[in-house]
Amino acid sequence: MPTIVVNDIRLDYTDQGKGAVVILLHGLGSTKADWDEITPALENHFRVIAVDMRGHGESGKPKSAYGVELMASDIHQLMVQLQIKKASLVGFSMGGAVAFEFAFQYPEMANKLLILNSGPDFNDMGEFGAELLRVRNHELQHVGLPSLAKDISYRMFPEDHQLEIREVFEKRCAANDPNAYYHSFNTLMTWGMGERLHQIKHATIAIASDMDYTPVKDKQAWVDRMHQAELVVIKNSRHGVVMDQSEALNQVMLEFLSRNG
Q: Could you give the C-alpha distances from 33 to 58, 196, 202, in angstroms and in order?
A: 11, 31, 27
DSSP state at residue 192: B
Which of 40, 34, 38, 26 lies closest to 169, judged by CA? 34
Distance CA 115, CA 99 (A): 8
DSSP 31-61: -GGGGTTTHHHHTTTSEEEEEE-TTSTTS--
Q: How do 3-6 and 87-92 pair as beta strands?
A: unpaired
Q: What is the dihedral of CA 133, 136, 141, 147, to 10 degrees?
A: 180
Query: Which domains, and CATH codes, for the chain?
Result: 3-122+193-258 (3.40.50.1820)
pLDDT at 261: 60
pLDDT at 260: 80
Kindly state the helix (H) or strand (E) to which residue 216 belongs, with its residue range: helix 216-223
Q: Which long-range contacts (CB under 8 A, 24 or more apart) does 173-177 make?
A: 173/29, 173/30, 173/145, 173/148, 173/149, 174/145, 174/146, 174/149, 174/150, 176/29, 176/55, 176/56, 176/145, 176/149, 177/55, 177/61
pLDDT at 22: 98
pLDDT at 225: 95
Q: Which amino acid is at 188?
A: L
Which of 101, 16, 92, 89 lies closest to 256, judged by CA? 89
14, β-bridge pairs: 50
Contact criterion met (CB below 8 Å) for 240 and 212: no
DSSP alpha helix (H) spans, 83-194: 94-105, 126-142, 145-156, 163-174, 178-188
pLDDT at 1: 78
> What's the chain's length in residues?
261
Chain-centre distance for alpha carbon 184: 12
Tens place of pLDDT for every residue, the chain, 261 residues? 799 999 999 999 999 999 999 999 999 999 999 999 999 999 999 999 999 999 999 999 999 999 999 999 999 999 999 999 999 999 999 999 999 999 999 999 999 999 999 999 999 999 999 999 999 999 999 999 999 999 999 999 999 999 999 999 999 999 999 999 999 999 999 999 999 999 999 999 999 999 999 999 999 999 999 999 999 999 999 999 999 999 999 999 999 999 986
